[in-house]
Amino acid sequence: MARALIFAPFILIAVAIVFTVRGAKARALRPVADRFSTLAILGFVLSFAGALPGIVLSHVALAEIKRTNERGWGLAVAGLWVGYAALIVLLPVVVAFLGHFANN
């Protein structure tokens, strides 16, 4: 059980990299519009300020980019990476913070 917990982050990162590379290859085959997706830019920027708004906007941007062939796929994926990483880092901190005040 402990070994599974140790290797879980590495497995998750490997799966994420595989899907990112597959998406990049699929995007390379389609013509891309000249416009950048505003949602991709906002999702990337907001993933640094707040994890959840950045994640939501980046997912919406990916759906929009798939539909309209706008540029910004890399920004949306980077927004997802940064947002989920921030969420993984901040979630235990928030739980510990709330647990500390619940015990006092």
Q: 86-97 pLDDT, tens per residue?
A: 888 888 888 888
Residues 22-33 have a mean pLDDT of: 63
DSSP state of 69: -
Assigned token pair, 35: 């416009």
CA 47 to chain centre: 8
Given this model, what pLDDT does residue 59 score?
Answer: 94
Residues 24-29 have a mean pLDDT of: 62
Give the SS3 label for residue 37. Answer: coil
Q: 45-88 pLDDT, tens per residue?
A: 999 988 899 999 999 999 999 888 888 888 999 999 899 888 88
Residue 16 has pLDDT above 80, yes or no: no
For 13, 18, 76, the CA distances from 61, given in Å and listed in that order, are: 22, 20, 6
